[in-house]
Structure formats: structure tokens, C-alpha cells
A = this chain, B = another copy of it.
């Protein structure tokens, strides 16, 4: 597709794949909804019943009016959301592990017109509140420096941890007290939500979040994420930025039919629960294997552990696919998806067992 080197290393995907939840396909009900949406003429650009329905479901789920902008990628969601929350001379405060720092090739800088991303430390990929406290007023009003403008919280985080509602509230409140806005990167929003057993409202606007990158793709949709804004004052700007950013689709129904099905009859929650349960099952199993060390108990659907090299080699030789060469030596990441079965996990555990013996 391009001369740029692919970064994934797996080559034999299957039930053997634990590379990322983006390797899973789509939930049958979502695929069905898209197929069903294919018939008939409807108005373009979101003036259609599918979009109306998806918007209604999001309003219901968030227990309030929201502005919704479907996008084709999480990077577009994050970039556009941040662009509406910071001026070009602002800074975006985010954890040093965050996706916007590492994995979007500068999309936030592109969409914001060159705002600066500032890396904050913190355990478990969560921003340390004291570090945030020190950062939110850093050189505020000093014309020589970018101005702290927005905090971006990943929920769930890149290492698979989940902020409690109280933790989100605390970060938001530090931000708000200093006049900053709050963005949530919810690429794995549902995985975090079901882990907390919180309501979407509690985890977002009630906790101070202004704009949410609402991920659906990794949890069973095809190519449909959405920006969900809780601040009506941002709606016009987001609409123009989305259009100008190449994200206003004419046949929006094909995105919103996905979102509609995703949010219907708890499909999104069931998918997330499944993915999380698979990670928990894997974690529990791995913990029991001598020589294997979990970095943390998985909260969402990502699990980091320490594997002896020969175990890693053995798994790869069997066709298992997962990231293993991107962090410290010996550190391995497994990501589970809604599409994994308990059997897949048990077979993986069995393989680790065998190679560990």
C-alpha cells in the first residue's frame, strides 16, 4: 500500500492473534445493520434516520443532549477534538504513554495548527495529579511560552489501566480550576466503562469531560468512531473542522448505522465485557505459571507481562502474534478482543505452560 515499513510483525493472524483489538472484524449485528442500511435513498451528510437514531442513542446513554460527529479514525477524533479545545499557541497535557504522543504521526499537531503536546508522568499510564497541578499554570500568561489549554485523559489507558471516576474528577478539577478544558481519548471507552461499572455520564461530563473521542472500532464496529461533545458552544467549530478535515461523509448512514447497532441492546457493553473477561482469564492463568510475571492485573482488555525469551519464541513459532519488541526486553503485550473465545485463551495459556516447562 506504500513504501513505508509496516510496523506489525505478526503474519499469521487467527484466534492466535493478540496483537491488537483492531485485528478483530466486526460484530455480526453491526455488519447486518450496515448491509441493511444499503438500500434506499436518504439525505446525505447526516440528515438521515440512521444518524438521527445514533444521535438519539448517544443522548440517551449520556443522559443529555450531545453533539455527535462520526469520524473514520481515532486519530481524526482526537485531532479534531483537541483542535476545538486549544488555540494553536496552546499546549495539550497528556500522559507520556498516550496514543496522541506516540502513535498518531503528529495528527494532533496537524489538526490544531501546531499546538504543543506536553508529556506528563504518572503510574499505570495515568497522569499524576501533582504533576498536572504543576503543569496547568506553567508559564500561564507568558507570551514566550505555549499556554496550557487542555488535558487529555486516555480511558482506558494504553497500558490497560482504567481511571476511576474519582481519578477523572480529580484531574478534571485541577484542569478546570486553572481554566483548561478536558478531553477524553476513549478509544477503549466501553472497556473502561464496564470495568468501572459506571454510567457513561459519570465517567465523562459529570466528571468534567468537555469532549470525548468515542471509540467503537476496536470494540466491534468497522470504521466508525465519533466525537461526542458535551459543550454546545463547540458544535459549530467542530462541524466546520470536521468538514474541512475531510471527515464529513456524504453517506453518513454507513457510519451511524454502525453506531446505532453498537449501542443497541447493550452490544457495546457485552463486547467490552467479553474482551475484558478474556484478559482477566488470561491474567489469572498467566499468574499461576512460574516464570511469568504480570506487570499489573488487567483492568480493561490489555495485559502486559514478562515472559522468558524462550517462551516468547515458542509462542511465535506456534503462530501466535503479539507485540514483544517495543518496550523493555522480556515485556510482552496481549490484547484481547470481543471476538476471542475462552478456548482461545485456554489454548494460549496451555502454550505458555508448555514452553515454560
Contact = CB atoms under 8 A, between A and B. Distances in A.
A203 B116 CA distance: 31
Interface stretch (A8-16, A265-273, A290-298, A345-353): A8-16
B144 A243 contact: yes
Most buried by B among A8, A41, A89, A237: A41
Contacts of A103: 144-145
Interface stretch (A18-26, A153-161, A177-185, A193-201): A18-26
Nearest to A102: B145
A69 interface: yes
B34 A14 contact: no
Contacts of A31: 34-35, 38
Given A89-B105, A144-B243, A243-B144, A23 B43 contact: yes
A180 to B, nearest CB: 16
A263 interface: no
A106 B88 contact: yes
B104 A109 contact: no
Copies in the complex: 4
By secondary structure, the A interface counts as: loop
Contact of A73 (B47, B112, B246, B253): B246
A150 to B, nearest CB: 14
A155 B314 CA distance: 51
A352 B9 CA distance: 61
Contact of A4 (B1, B79, B239): B239
Contacts of A107: 243-246
Interface string A191-221: 0000000000000000000000000011000
Contacts of A89: 105-106, 240-241, 243-244
Contact of A68 (B1, B20, B79, B142): B1
Contacts of A251: 22, 25-26, 217, 222-223
A249 B77 CA distance: 12
A356 B40 CA distance: 29
Given A4-B236, A223-B254, 19 more contacts: A1-B69, A2-B69, A2-B238, A4-B141, A4-B240, A5-B141, A7-B139, A10-B43, A41-B339, A79-B246, A87-B240, A89-B241, A102-B144, A106-B115, A107-B246, A113-B114, A217-B249, A217-B250, A223-B223
26 contacts: A1-B252, A2-B69, A2-B238, A3-B235, A5-B142, A7-B45, A8-B45, A13-B42, A17-B41, A19-B43, A25-B39, A25-B40, A25-B42, A26-B251, A28-B38, A72-B223, A76-B247, A87-B240, A89-B241, A89-B244, A103-B145, A104-B243, A105-B146, A143-B243, A223-B251, A245-B246
CB-CB nearest 6 A-B residue pairs: A76-B246, A22-B250, A109-B114, A2-B239, A72-B72, A31-B38
Interface of A: 1-8, 10-11, 13-15, 17, 19-20, 22-28, 30-32, 34-35, 37-47, 51, 55, 67-69, 71-73, 75-77, 79-80, 87-89, 102-107, 109-117, 139, 141-147, 217-218, 222-223, 232, 235-241, 243-255, 337, 339
